Amino acid sequence: MASVSHFNQFFSKTLSVTPPNSQPSPRASIFPQSSIGISGKPVGKQRILAEVPRPVFCVRATVNDDEWGPEKEDPYAGSSAVAVAEEEKLEEPSEIDKLKKALVDSFYGTDRGLKATSETRAEIVELITQLEAKNPNPAPTEALTLLNGKWILAYTSFAGLFPLLSRGTPQLVKVEEISQTIDADNFTVQNSVQFSGPLATTSITTNAKFEVRSPKRVQIKFEEGIIGTPQLTDSIVLPENVDFFGQKIDLTPLKGIVSSVQDTASSVAKTISSQPPLKIPISNNNAQSWLLTTYLDEELRISRGDGGSVFVLIKEGSSLLST
């Protein structure tokens, strides 16, 4: 377009000149047919433009991508691709998330670590060490809002935590859940173990107070123990067999007896459940312990006890519990 524009300007400035001493005709054209022949030489007595060199125009047709001006970039071009890239970036797990996922996966089949092999324990220790090095809250006792809430025990290296789960113990009692509930506003800690058996469920709880001793360490003093009221099940479920000191015992003959007492157990359950739990005060000054929190975020906590044991706990409601 720029070439055509210059061409038009040059055309109008050059050919609109009126020869001297001539009277312009109101209907005169730029190239009168009676004045100019095919050869371009003057015809007859008229010498219009005879002394003016005939301009030579070379018109070249070109294809110009910018004929209508420079192409404007679409401000929204590629916005979809950028949005997808940003979404994928947000969804991509961080290194800490990958470590946490690997750590929780390594707990599979270990029964909270009590049945972990030496190789599995070594792998867990390595993952814990890597997470502790990336602790997003290096002063956990200053982040009490994160400590608040109920934490579910996922792994421990303290094999003697519950003698009922030790080798040789009859597998009639099952630990359903081990948890620790922290109330940072009142500086209290409640440790709870929920048991279930063929006939009833119950819980054992200890209540304690804690004091902050350092950015990572708290001192815990136990005040009382509580044995929950057994809750008899309306439907008694008896396993086919049980492993007792390495020997399998068939429990099938007992199923007939269990069925006969089913109705009695249902009525007894209502009576026992109405009784208050048994509270046992703890007055021993030696009933104290300290706990060092070495990793803390919104869903995972790693703590070390005064006996060198390690505890990995997951916040209640976290997706890590369903991993």
CATH code at 96-228+277-322? 2.40.128.280
Long-range CB pairs of 17-26, under 8 A, 24+ apart, other chains included? 17/52, 19/48, 19/49, 19/52, 22/48
- Cα separation, 127 vs 102, whole angstroms: 8
Residue 208 and residue 221 in contact, taking contact as beta carbons nearer than 8 Å: yes
* Token duo for residue 276: 């208050």
**For tokens 């929920």, what's the residue?**
194
3-state helix, strand, coil in the chain (%, to 5): 30, 25, 45
- Domains of the chain: which residue ranges? 1-72, 96-228+277-322
173 CB contacts (<8 Å, ≥6 apart)? 164, 195, 196, 197
Task: For the chain, 323 residues long, give each residue's pLDDT as a single digit of tens.
Answer: 444 444 444 334 443 444 444 444 444 444 444 444 444 444 444 444 445 555 555 555 454 544 455 555 555 555 565 555 555 555 788 999 999 999 999 999 998 988 889 999 999 999 999 999 999 999 999 999 999 999 999 999 986 675 655 544 455 678 889 999 999 999 999 999 998 876 678 899 999 999 999 999 999 999 999 988 877 665 656 667 766 556 677 767 766 666 666 666 666 666 666 778 888 898 887 788 899 999 999 999 999 987 789 999 999 999 999 87
pTM more than 0.95 = no
